[in-house]
């Protein structure tokens, strides 16, 4: 099993096979629109703008498990992110990242890092071969991850 074994859904209902991101560096993030860390959307988009052509894809997964800070529907979240932060990186349906209903993608990511997701905007960096490289807590600013991304992009 690898990260490429999973599928997920976009707010418009389209199913996305993560194998479509083979040979890309991936940054998975559980997001929320009403969180103190919500301004990180700006820097996540900045990373995507800066490194997207070199092979980085930021993948946003809205989650309402922490303080009820993502109350809207997946479609509302997508519109909010586009309007308020100019987000163009892929956003997927709202999911759980912890507990019995945790999305299998995030179960896999935490299993590989041995970490836990304590809050919104936890980030996971995956290399071009699909190996989970590192987990970053919410307080780590996206731009502080840039050196790790640059190493993986080569």
Per-residue pLDDT of the chain (154 residues), as tens digits, is: 899 999 999 999 999 999 999 999 999 999 999 999 999 999 999 999 999 999 999 999 999 999 999 999 999 999 999 999 999 999 999 999 999 999 999 999 999 999 999 999 999 999 999 999 999 999 999 999 999 999 999 9
* CB distance 44 to 26 below 8 Å: no
Name the phi and psi angles at 92, rounded to 5. Answer: -115, 180
Q: pTM here?
A: 0.97
Number of domains in the chain: 1
CATH number at residue 40: 3.40.30.10
Just list the catalytic residues.
35
Quote the pLDDT of residue 24: 98
* CB distance 87 to 41 below 8 Å: yes
Domain holding 18, by residue range, is 3-153
How many helices and strands in the chain, by DSSP H and E? Answer: 4, 6
């Amino acid at each position: 099993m690898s990260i490429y074994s999973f599928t997920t859904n976009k707010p418009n209902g389209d199913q996305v096979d993560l194998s479509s991101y083979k040979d890309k560096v991936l940054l998975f993030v559980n997001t929320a629109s009403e969180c103190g860390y919500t301004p990180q959307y700006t820097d996540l988009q900045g990373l995507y703008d800066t490194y997207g052509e070199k092979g980085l894809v930021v993948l946003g997964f809205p989650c309402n498990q922490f303080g009820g800070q993502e109350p809207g529907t997946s479609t509302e979240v997508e519109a909010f992110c586009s309007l308020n932060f100019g987000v163009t990186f892929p956003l997927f349906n709202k999911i759980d990242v912890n507990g019995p209903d945790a999305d299998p993608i995030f179960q896999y990511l935490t299993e590989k890092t041995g970490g836990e997701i304590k809050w919104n905007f936890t980030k996971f960096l995956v290399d071009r071969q699909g190996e989970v490289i590192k987990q970053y807590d919410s307080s780590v600013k996206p731009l502080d991850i840039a050196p790790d991304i640059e190493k993986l992009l080569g």
